[in-house]
Structure 1
């Protein structure tokens, strides 16, 4: 009896503070930010809009919308910026939903997370939620240029992906060792290649890359390195150079000798200066088909502002 009691006591002690029990209670590794946003989109959007693509050994989700015309003009592959989902409510989402009405298939990607410190979490959203007070709309826009993960309170659930706050909680850290992944740039290249292969399988009349924020940089970088003959046009919306990339954006985009639409906002000092550098570089390189399109200051009516962006992009594609 004593032996049995001692054994039970020892077992309880091990469970309470021993290494085996501690190991069994270790938390699982965090899911990536992009995986969490994709899961949110899976709950919000119809299943028919999702396709699964393979990049190297990994599967990832993309959003596909066929053109709403009998004779489609081609496929537009959309690359969101850092911290943005494949249906981001500013730019990417409205473009992927609006351009099919003007003859374009759209394929919107999710890109892998930047392997640096976690970005701030975005509060969960619901219909009717009040937007946080903004003292100066211009200052808010300038902040968005530096931080592509704004609070989207007030956006409809089907228009934005919620990012749980526990994504950046200190309590969710794990001590487990994770096998090193492929370099971030290589992961993005693999995803673009998978998207391009899918687009080519549709035998489109034309393929266009459209990148927003840092997505514009990655689109231009891929075109520079791989020079795929199937891609005839590049659209960049408020392009931004990712952290850790040495090649200047103002040199990368104008060096591409294919039709390029460069969309920027006229009212932001940083946007204007960067756009001027890209324009001057295109002139020095004698780019044959580089055109900048200045967008006016947002009105505060997000639906009207996004419709205007879709209209401007559609107009450039038609021209």
Structure 2
């Protein structure tokens, strides 16, 4: 009888321990500070699932263009904003008409990589100044080449991309945007065009005129830079396809700029040309400080004046009304 009683007590102790362990586990899963006891939970109640995190991929160019629109609106210049379309995709262009009674033509402007159509280094001063000298300006949005918000993807070189890397990044889209910009200007009555590019934008302007030989009367390259998939030599060789006069305004920081040498050689190798390549080392202009932008404007204005068809803007003086200069007789 004693043996049975001892065994009975041992079984009861094990059952009690198992029950307490289960209750402890259930209490440990309850939310901290909760007043709900384990006995109040029912099988129908479920623990809420954790919300899935949404990772927002930053879009620097979109943010940059939105900030530009906001800035222009604050400055009451939002009337310059034009939303054009190319390849079924909208893009921004900034339009300023000639501020004189006649228009010489329009300067199509392309900014450098990771910038915008009103970038202060070169595009903005020229965009604002040229209308005062009878040129309208159209500065268009160029898609980013290097996506700073995306990881760099390194791919193995193939025969295709090493033997023929002749096309610029996004070239088809950029060319379509340039053509859409030209079409817009033509709708405003503009007949003569010149192209101006800054940094990598100069490479696009160069390539577009090389592929569309009758699209413009002149080309201005400002601190031209090659895109990542093209060498300086390959970019320079495209000058051989351009007959129009070219202003090559660049900064020679080393005193031996091989890229500028290749551009000059390519220009000399042209067999069919209607204008020269004018190279200007911008370094002396840059060291003048605040006057450097004004000197850039003078360089571009003078180049276009000498190398494009100029409309005669001489006007006859208005006939003077003598009443403005002579006193009328007094009747007594």
Common fold: TM-score over 0.5: yes
Q: Does 1:34 align with 2:61?
A: yes
Map residues 52-201 of structure 1 onto 2, 5 A cutoff: 52-114=83-145, 116-118=146-148, 184-201=170-187
Match of 2:183, SS?
helix
Match of 1:231, SS?
coil
- Following TM superposition, by how much is the alpha carbon of 1:237 offset from its aligned partner in structure 2, in angstroms? 0.8
- Following TM superposition, by how much is the alpha carbon of 1:230 offset from its aligned partner in structure 2, in angstroms? 3.8
Distance 1:258 1:274 in 2: 20
**Residue 216 of structure 1: aligned partner:** 202
Taking a change above 3 Å as real, the CA distance of residues 270 and 188 of structure 1, as seen in their structure-2 partners, is farther
Contact 2:105 2:134 in 1 (8 A): yes
Distance 1:26 1:82 in 2: 29
Comparing 79-88 and 241-250, the one that deviates more:
241-250
Taking a change above 3 Å as real, the CA distance of residues 117 and 204 of structure 1, as seen in their structure-2 partners, is closer
CA RMSD of aligned residues (A): 2.5
Distance 1:203 1:216 in 2: 26
Distance 1:205 1:100 in 2: 15
Kindly indicate whether structure 1 or structure 2 has the higher relative contact order, using CA contacts under 8 Å at least 6 residues apart: 1
**Residue 330 of structure 2: aligned partner:** none
Taking a change above 3 Å as real, the CA distance of residues 281 and 56 of structure 1, as seen in their structure-2 partners, is same
- Following TM superposition, by how much is the alpha carbon of 1:259 offset from its aligned partner in structure 2, in angstroms? 2.1
- Following TM superposition, by how much is the alpha carbon of 1:117 offset from its aligned partner in structure 2, in angstroms? 4.8
- Following TM superposition, by how much is the alpha carbon of 1:202 offset from its aligned partner in structure 2, in angstroms? 2.1
Which of 236, 251, 256 is the aligned partner of 1:250? 236
**Residue 249 of structure 2: aligned partner:** 263
**Residue 279 of structure 1: aligned partner:** 264
Instruction: Report the number of matched residues.
Output: 244
Which of 292, 304, 307 is the aligned partner of 2:291? 304
- Following TM superposition, by how much is the alpha carbon of 1:251 offset from its aligned partner in structure 2, in angstroms? 0.6
With the length of structure 1 as denominator, give the TM-score of the two structures.
0.70
- Following TM superposition, by how much is the alpha carbon of 1:29 offset from its aligned partner in structure 2, in angstroms? 3.3
